[in-house]
Amino acid sequence: DSGVTQTPKHLITATGQRVTLRCSPRSGDLSVYWYQQSLDQGLQFLIQYYNGEERAKGNILERFSAQQFPDLHSELNLSSLELGDSALYFCASSVRGSGTEAFFGQGTRLTVV
């Protein structure tokens, strides 16, 4: 158990809909990262938050947004969903400071039908 909790584990929704994925980082971790993993696409970095502030953006679509709340949990909002958004979405967290690794949650499997 990495200590990072993601909910829900599975999500099935229709095209055009909006969903929210939730991540609770490990206790004490200030950084939260979101990644998308599609078949044959590897791990695509979406966005990073540090202590409530956005710190880095990767290949995140404009239809997607995220935020980190004062209690450090984070939510990833996906709207106007398309079939191609079907993927595993991972959240990871890390502490501030050098030499620290990221700890991953088990992921949310999103299926858009």
Partner 1 sequence: GDSVTQMEGPVTLSEEAFLTINCTYTATGYPSLFWYVQYPGEGLQLLLKATKADDKGSNKGFEATYRKETTSFHLEKGSVQVSDSAVYFCALSDRGSGGYQKVTFGIGTKLQVIP
Binding interface with partner 1 (CB under 8 A): 2, 30-31, 33, 35, 42-43, 45, 48, 50-51, 55-56, 90, 92, 94-107
Burial label for 4, CB within 10 Å (0-12, 13-18, 19+), is buried
Q: What angle (nearest 5°) sits at the alpha carbon of residue 85, between those of residues 64 and 101?
A: 70
Shortest Cβ distance from residue 23 to partner 1 (Å)?
A: 12
Residues 86 and 109: their CA atoms lie apart, in Å, by 8
> CB-wise, 79 or 88, nearer to partner 1?
88
What six digits make up the tokens of 104?
A: 């991953």
> CB-wise, 31 or 81, nearer to partner 1?
31
Shortest Cβ distance from residue 43 to partner 1 (Å)?
A: 5
